[in-house]
Structure 1
Amino acid sequence: MEQEHQKIALYIQKIIDMMIGYSPKLISAFLILFIGLYLIRIINRLIRKIMIRRNLDPTLTKFLADLLLWALRILLFVTFISKLGIETSSFVAILGAIGLAVGLSLQGSLSNLAGGVLIIVFKPFRDGDLIEAQGITGTVSEIQLFVTKLIAANNQTVFIPNGPLSNGSIINYSMQGHRRAEFTFTIAYDADIKTVKQIILNLLLNDPNVLKTPAPRVFVKSLADNGIVLAVYPWAKNEDFDAVSTNTLENCKYALENAGINMQPYVQELSKTNLQE
């Protein structure tokens, strides 16, 4: 019995000695953990303030700040367990394997995420811009990290993945602030070209929505089998583009009919007017 008590006392003494010997590592490890968490919080706040001052997109600011936060936390955790004396090489290998597996399973989503970051950073379009991409034309409603939301002319909501969107061609109709409408009218060969051009130019110059600079143009585009093809190029601000497009077609028809000009039954619109229905 006495021997058992001695063995127990010996084991307890060994445990106490191990704890005393291990306590500096334990204390230093937890000090690193608490100080590290405090510093990570300060760094995260500082990074957010810097990005806000540089007018970065709020979505991108939040994403980058959160990404940095978790990267620093993982680094701190690895440092913490390493300070405790735990072998970290196997742990890092496991993290790498998990990261690889997640990356392979979510490669499509990661592609969309990378595309969203590129769109937010390089800004080929902004909220409210009218764009054409991936065969779809609409007004940008919201740029998210994985998808971009468009509102089409018929008020349908379209979600385009950012991966294909960032890698494809994008036509931004709003970026320059003004656009040119392009129409062709076909008139009979017996019509006086100069008179027709003057009638159309007068209409365009008297339209308050048509810009004077750049000046509107009317010229002979081609001589077709069924008549003389005239091209009409009025310029308008983005917000007036639909009105100019409809007014030009309607007013030219009435003005030429009133002047006795025979229009051939063929009118072609070359531009993307995207009229709201």
Structure 2
Amino acid sequence: MNQASLDQELQQLENAYNFILDFLMRYSLQLIGAIVIFLIGLLVASKVSNLVAKQLKKHNIDITLTQFTSNLIRITIIIMVAVICLGKLGISVTPMVAAIGAASLGAGLALQGMLSNYAAGITIIVTRPFVVGNTIEIKGVAGVVDEIKLGQTILTNEEGEQISIPNKHIVGEILHNSFEYKLVETRLNIEYQSDTDQVIAIIEQQLAQSNFVNQQQKPLVGVNAFNSIGIEIGIRYWVPTPQYFEAKYQTNLAVINALHSAGISIPCPVREVHIQH
């Protein structure tokens, strides 16, 4: 390295040093003030969001809405403090807002699906058509609500499978919410000669003895229809969603065993074939 190159690099370092020193001398107080304001703002945002969360929990507000509200308040306060700090340093936020707006427009066009999921998530959180722990069915998919996120809702079924549903497929659709229970509907046929009152009493007794069936919501048993092979008996009862199939299978077994023990036969379809010569 020759002397000229060395002198040039030393001059550049000196210029950088002078620039930094001049900046610190001019804006040191503003910079320190901005840092102090920002740190105080972070502390205030945390305290306010925690206070809001505690008040919402105290009034038994849903945990999803509580978290969303407290996080929104914290982010809003931080943004306001950041704007104040930039103004303290003499930086205008107007061009930044315009640039963010233009970037947001482009990103919005590219991420329409994701943004629609977020918008639907906010709608779900605010309107609360269901909460964590409810049993919902949407477009033929059912399960217990495990978590509600901005972009998607997480369900779990009896097999322990995790089902992720984009929120845009929930808002605006027909939604079934049975809370923590799920309806079981069963039909069976008895012969026309059978004692219908006896059959209904036997089934009601089995439902009353079941540990799965929700007794607070009375099970319904009655004559559902008449068909070519016998009288159709309809059975409707509610069971906890996590034990839906287990409860259904055990109840069906108990009912059929009780009917057989009482001598009640279940007819089966008979088809006659006539052969003509």
TM-score by length of 1: 0.70
Aligned equivalents of 2:76, 2:136: Cα separation in 1: 33
1:201 counterpart residue number = 204
SS in 2 for 1:264: coil
1:1-20 superposed matches below 5 A: none
Cα gap change, 1:209 to 1:35, in 2 (>3 Å): closer
- 1:148 equivalent to 2:148? Answer no
Among candidates 100, 118, 121, match of residue 116 of structure 1: 121
**What residue number does 2:164 align with?**
159
Structure 1, unpaired ranges of 5+: 1-18, 267-277
Q: Deviations for 1:6-64, whole angstroms, at most 9, x for unmatched residues?
A: xxxxxxxxxxxxx9xx96xx577546624531442233123212232113536525641
Q: 1:69 to 1:102 in 2, by over 3 A?
A: farther
Shift of 1:148: 2.1
Letter in 2 for 1:96: G
Of residues 251, 264, 267, the one that matches 1:264 is 267
Residue 217 and residue 157 in structure 1: after superposition, are their counterparts in 2 closer, same or farther (change >3 A)? Answer: closer
The TM-score, its normalising length taken from structure 2, stands at 0.70
Structure 1 runs of 4+ with >6 Å offset: none
Match of 1:139 in 2: 144
**Structure 1 residues 50, 87: closer, same or farther in 2, change over 3 A?**
closer
- Partner AA of 2:202 in structure 1: I
Count of matched residue positions in the alignment of Structure 1 and Structure 2? 239
2:12 corresponds in structure 1 to: none
1:67 corresponds to = 75
Would the alpha carbon gap of residues 159 and 234 (structure 1) be closer, same or farther in structure 2, given more than 3 Å must change? closer
Moved more, 131-140 or 225-234: 131-140
Give 1:233's aligned residue: 236
CA positional deviation for 1:121: 3.7
**Mind listing any 5+ residue stretches in structure 2 that lack a counterpart?**
1-21, 58-62, 270-277
Say whether residues 1:220 and 2:250 are aligned partners.
no
- Equivalent residue number for residue 44 of structure 1: 45
Q: Which amino acid aligns with 2:83?
A: L
The match for 1:185 is 188
The 1:38–1:201 alpha-carbon spacing in structure 2 relative to 1, beyond 3 Å, is closer
- Aligned counterpart, 1:95: 100
Q: Which residue of 1 aligns with 2:6?
A: none
CA deviation digits over 1:148-182, x for unaligned, max 9?
Answer: 22234444332211232234333233x2x445432
Distance 1:70 1:106 in 2: 25
Q: Residues 249 and 79 from structure 1, CA distance in 2 versus in 1: closer, same or farther, beyond 3 angstroms? A: same
How far does the alpha carbon of each residue in 1:73-121 deviate from its partner, in whole angstroms, 9 at most, with x for none? 552255245xx3x665444322322232233323322222222233334
State the 1:238 CA deviation. Answer: 4.9
Change over 3 Å in CA distance of 1:91–1:218 after alignment to 2: closer
Contact 2:143 2:241 in 1 (8 A): no
Greater mean deviation of Cα atoms: 86-95 or 125-134: 86-95
Query: What secondary structure, in the 3-state scheme, does the structure 1 residue paired with 2:221 have?
Result: strand
